A and B are shown apart, each in its own frame.
Chain A
Amino acid sequence: MNRPGNGLLLPRSMGIGRRDFLKGTAAAGVAAALATPAIAQNAKIKIPLVSWMWSEPGRGDAWKAMLAKFHAEQSDVFVEEAGAPFNEFNNNMLIQSQSGKINGAMFHTTPDLVVRLLRGGHLEPLQDIVDNLGLTNTLSAAHDHLRIDGKVHGLDIVTVKFGLLYNSALFEKAGVNPPSSMDEWVETSTALTKAPDQFGIYSPHLLSEPGDFWFILQQWAAMFDGKWAEGRTPLVNTQPVIEGMKLFKTMYDKAMPKGTDIATANQMYGNGRIAQQLIVSAAANVWSSSGPDVYKSLRSAPVPGPNAKAITRIHPICVNVNASDDEKAAAKAFISWLYKPANYQELMERCLDVVPPYPEAVRKEYLDTLFWADGYLKGESTTPVEIMGDYIFFNQEFGNVVMDKLSEVLVANRPVEDAMADAQSELERASERLFEGFKL
């Protein structure tokens, strides 16, 4: 997920005094020193929850609060924080999976990681939790691809959906409205650009940030109802994908701060120097904690275009099949607790999430308070599995080829058609190697 980094260009509103910082750190340190060992010592079993979320502004705090609540309500299980930042998380997990065993009893996953782990036989079935909580018939259809023999092997902890998250104050100042067509979107974004002080839009575009570049680039083709692959056939030279890449190039030329990295762009967004981002709903939570000024002005619109589809990504929590029986039981006890409606509602509200895994997991009154969520709740959805075909198992590999060729379009003005034709040939050659010895 694209999220603000802790760069040096902090917006003024985000600054905290040295005294506040020291007070906060001291209080947190004392509390952690006093509370954690006591709880951990009393617990019968300690299990790690491997995730990338711990260092994520907003969401990390929400998960820490939920763990604290869990530890306060019972003393049998102590859940520890573990993991790596998002850009390295999938890689670490995949390398571990290839070595035969993943560390940790319980982990968060992404849509492409979970299918690889499922296929590798690393995941424990969680159907018993679903049945015991009476969710058998109400669990969202997004879980269907996590089933083997009807048993679900992962449970959603956040579903994110793409939309246009914009700064309404900048839109009002420029006298423009959220776009409803592609042409209007280009016009609006151009009108909002007053380089170098203000830019209409930002989307990651540097090869040095491949995780986020590819994560968001996939959506640009989905806006034209494009698919990147079907089965084992790459479709990067098809018309919808080419249209999506042409739109990216147009926006890059007319409305983006070229050559800007994500951390800097997010600081610019926080400072009101970027008007909009094509980004997932989870980003709003980041701004609620790290950019309160811009958060007040945030609004969302569905992704523009007549056939536009928004990629919706499910991020499940899973239990490691190789953990000991005690660890598995402890992990399932935590997930069962988390999935109770009252607890899940609290998690969603702390994370400012909008898509529940089952209807009772979200309160309508809460959704009504989300002034920025309107666009995310509308519009058609698609999933990474639908747009990536069997390449969902090689998502980043596929993305690397596309990004490399698109970069030629961006910085060397190569025609999109030529670049995507090259990408298609390269992917066709790579598919022979990637799918050799591969069985679904």
Chain B
Amino acid sequence: MTFKVHRSQGFPLDAGNIERMAQATIAEQVERVPRRGRDRQSSLAYTLVFMIVAYLGVFILFPIVQQVLTSFSNNVVGINEVTWVGLRNYERLLDDPKFWVAVRVTFTYMAFVMTGSVIIGLGAALLLNRQFRGRNMARSVIAVPWAFPEISAVLVFIWMCNPTFGVLNMLALMFPGVETNPNWLTDPNMAMPLVIVISIWKAFPFAFLVILASLQAIPRDLYEAAEVDGASKLQMLRYITIPEITPTLLLMSVLMAIFSFKQFTLIWLTTGGGPYGGITETMVLRIYQTAFRFFDLAYGATLGVAAFIIVLGLTLLFVYAQHRQDRARKR
């Protein structure tokens, strides 16, 4: 309707004019709304905004501030008086070898889980993006680990890895040189790889689903044009598919990094951070152990602040990478 009016006035119908016309129409409508109605609308908007801000303030901001304040205290369960200790907990953090072990373990775990789940997710998505009989069934089946509750999944793996009667023993004994049942989750050399494998198995379907959706959004005509130009499958993957889904891969990498950084249930239930010496103790486990097993709330809060800074760094890195990519695309 709006277009007709303006066409009769003889304006050229380009994108800029459409935007201006739309703005003018909205402005006219706002003018027509009575003042009392406008007040009611704006008070509703303020109420809604206030609710969001209040929610963020109470449930996000307040705990963060409280945590930072606790990290400057000597709050340990059992002491008589909580006092401020300045930067003492942060000095302890820098000198604490267990913290650095936890940082190393966290980044190792994060790197493997992120890379593994994105690569396997990408491979599965490429495979299941092709036409074949039973494709929908395969897509559903591959998503099962993601939907499976973590505790149930861990219990199943714990039984599979039981050194006495776990089913994996049968497989291990088929390998030459393996004569006794491996200790699996209690073996210092196998615990971390197993935790990583279980984590990838649990995480990759999410990457698969998102990447698959991204693959399906690539315009078909790009492939058709490439085919006409005689491009091979590999060249199409290299020059069309990968560049088109790079933002998704980047997003998945950051999300997987953050998910794996925050992972607690799976590691806690499989190894509890062991088998000893913090071999699988990530920062999140270290925070839990410190605050709720050693009841050292102040130092637990300090570790929490350090973890918060690391996650913030990862997020900023993602924002920067995405920004750079957007600029590159525009160019």
A interface residue numbers (CB < 8 A to B):
7-8, 91, 94-95, 97-98, 116, 119-120, 195-196, 199, 206-210, 257-261, 264, 393-394, 396-397, 400, 404-405, 407-408, 410-412, 433-434, 436-439
- Using A95-B292, A396-B293, A404-B278 as known contacts, list a sample of 19 further A-B pairs with CB atoms less than 8 Å apart, ordered by residue number in A: A98-B75, A98-B77, A116-B78, A196-B164, A206-B274, A207-B274, A208-B271, A258-B183, A258-B186, A400-B289, A400-B293, A407-B186, A407-B276, A411-B183, A411-B275, A412-B275, A433-B76, A436-B79, A437-B80
Q: Which of B78, B184, B271 contacts A207 (CB 8 A)?
A: B271
How far, in Å, is B280 (CB) from chain A's closest CB?
9
Chain B residues in 8 Å Cβ range of A260 = 162-164
Chain B residues in 8 Å Cβ range of A438 = 78-80
**Cβ-based interface call for B294 (8 A):** yes
Chain A residues in 8 Å Cβ range of B274 = 206-208, 404, 407
- When the two chains form their complex, are residues B295 and A98 in contact, meaning their CB atoms are under 8 A apart? yes
- When the two chains form their complex, are residues A207 and B163 in contact, meaning their CB atoms are under 8 A apart? no
- When the two chains form their complex, are residues A258 and B163 in contact, meaning their CB atoms are under 8 A apart? yes
- When the two chains form their complex, are residues B162 and A264 in contact, meaning their CB atoms are under 8 A apart? yes
- When the two chains form their complex, are residues B293 and A207 in contact, meaning their CB atoms are under 8 A apart? no
How far, in Å, is A199 (CB) from chain B's closest CB?
8
Chain A residues in 8 Å Cβ range of B275 = 207, 407, 410-412
Chain A residues in 8 Å Cβ range of B78 = 98, 116, 119-120, 393-394, 434, 438
- When the two chains form their complex, are residues B295 and A207 in contact, meaning their CB atoms are under 8 A apart? no
**Cβ-based interface call for B193 (8 A):** no
Fill in one digit per residue for B150-173: 1 if any A CB lies within 8 Å of its CB, else 0: 000001001101111100000000
Assembled-state Cα–Cα distance A268/B294 (Å): 32
Assembled-state Cα–Cα distance A260/B268 (Å): 15
Assembled-state Cα–Cα distance A91/B295 (Å): 8
Q: Which of A199, A257, A412, A437 contacts B79 (CB 8 A)?
A: A437
Fill in one digit per residue for B264-276: 1 if any A CB lies within 8 Å of its CB, else 0: 0000111111111
**Cβ-based interface call for B212 (8 A):** no
- When the two chains form their complex, are residues A196 and B165 in contact, meaning their CB atoms are under 8 A apart? yes
Fill in one digit per residue for B258-300: 1 if any A CB lies within 8 Å of its CB, else 0: 0000000000111111111110000000000100111111000
- When the two chains form their complex, are residues B158 and A261 in contact, meaning their CB atoms are under 8 A apart? yes
**Cβ-based interface call for B188 (8 A):** yes
Fill in one digit per residue for B42-84: 1 if any A CB lies within 8 Å of its CB, else 0: 0000000000000000000000000000000011111111010
The count of residues in chain B whose C-beta lies closer than 8 Å to any C-beta of chain A is 41
How far, in Å, is A301 (CB) from chain B's closest CB?
25
Assembled-state Cα–Cα distance A122/B76 (Å): 17
> Can you report 9 A-B residue pairs in the complex whose CB atoms are below 8 A from each other?
A91-B293, A208-B272, A264-B162, A394-B295, A396-B295, A400-B293, A400-B294, A408-B277, A436-B79
**Cβ-based interface call for B245 (8 A):** no
With contacts A259-B185, A264-B162, A400-B294 known, is A405 near B276, CB below 8 A? yes
B interface residue numbers (CB < 8 A to A):
74-81, 83, 155, 158-159, 161-165, 183-188, 268-278, 289, 292-297
Closest residue of chain B to A396, judged by CB? B293
Assembled-state Cα–Cα distance A138/B71 (Å): 49
- When the two chains form their complex, are residues B158 and A410 in contact, meaning their CB atoms are under 8 A apart? no
With contacts A207-B272, A434-B76 known, is A259 near B293, CB below 8 A? no
How far, in Å, is A395 (CB) from chain B's closest CB?
11
How far, in Å, is A238 (CB) from chain B's closest CB?
22
- When the two chains form their complex, are residues B74 and A436 in contact, meaning their CB atoms are under 8 A apart? yes
Q: Which of B80, B272, B294, B297 contacts A439 (CB 8 A)?
A: B80
Chain B residues in 8 Å Cβ range of A394 = 78, 295
Chain A residues in 8 Å Cβ range of B270 = 208
With contacts A195-B164, A207-B273, A209-B272 known, is A259 near B159, CB below 8 A? no
- When the two chains form their complex, are residues B295 and A94 in contact, meaning their CB atoms are under 8 A apart? yes
- When the two chains form their complex, are residues B269 and A206 in contact, meaning their CB atoms are under 8 A apart? no
Chain A residues in 8 Å Cβ range of B184 = 259
Chain B residues in 8 Å Cβ range of A98 = 75, 77-78, 295, 297
With contacts A196-B164, A207-B275 known, is A259 near B186, CB below 8 A? yes
Chain B residues in 8 Å Cβ range of A116 = 77-78
Closest 6 CB pairs of A and B: A208-B272, A207-B274, A407-B276, A207-B272, A259-B163, A437-B79
- When the two chains form their complex, are residues B272 and A257 in contact, meaning their CB atoms are under 8 A apart? no
How far, in Å, is B68 (CB) from chain A's closest CB?
18
Chain B residues in 8 Å Cβ range of A437 = 74, 76, 79-81, 83
Most B CB within 10 A of own CB, among A257, A404, A439: A404
Q: Which of A94, A257, A258, A411 contacts B77 (CB 8 A)?
A: A94
Chain B residues in 8 Å Cβ range of A97 = 77
Assembled-state Cα–Cα distance A400/B186 (Å): 17
Closest residue of chain A to B276, judged by CB? A407
- When the two chains form their complex, are residues A210 and B293 in contact, meaning their CB atoms are under 8 A apart? yes
Chain B residues in 8 Å Cβ range of A436 = 74, 79
- When the two chains form their complex, are residues A259 and B295 in contact, meaning their CB atoms are under 8 A apart? no
Chain A residues in 8 Å Cβ range of B294 = 396-397, 400
How far, in Å, is A411 (CB) from chain B's closest CB?
5
How far, in Å, is A58 (CB) from chain B's closest CB?
23
How far, in Å, is A43 (CB) from chain B's closest CB?
35
Closest residue of chain A to B75, judged by CB? A98
Closest residue of chain A to B163, judged by CB? A259
- When the two chains form their complex, are residues A210 and B272 in contact, meaning their CB atoms are under 8 A apart? yes
With contacts A98-B77, A411-B188 known, is A257 near B164, CB below 8 A? yes
Chain A residues in 8 Å Cβ range of B77 = 94-95, 97-98, 116
Q: Which of A210, A396, A411, A433 contacts B186 (CB 8 A)?
A: A411
How far, in Å, is A274 (CB) from chain B's closest CB?
11
- When the two chains form their complex, are residues B276 and A207 in contact, meaning their CB atoms are under 8 A apart? yes
Q: Which of A210, A396, A404, A410 contacts B277 (CB 8 A)?
A: A404
Assembled-state Cα–Cα distance A393/B294 (Å): 11
- When the two chains form their complex, are residues B188 and A91 in contact, meaning their CB atoms are under 8 A apart? no
With contacts A259-B185, A264-B159, A400-B293 known, is A408 near B79, CB below 8 A? no
Most A CB within 10 A of own CB, among B165, B269, B270: B165
Most B CB within 10 A of own CB, among A97, A120, A207, A408: A207
- When the two chains form their complex, are residues B163 and A433 in contact, meaning their CB atoms are under 8 A apart? no
- When the two chains form their complex, are residues A259 and B164 in contact, meaning their CB atoms are under 8 A apart? yes
- When the two chains form their complex, are residues B293 and A208 in contact, meaning their CB atoms are under 8 A apart? no
Assembled-state Cα–Cα distance A14/B287 (Å): 40
Assembled-state Cα–Cα distance A226/B164 (Å): 32
Closest residue of chain A to B152, judged by CB? A8
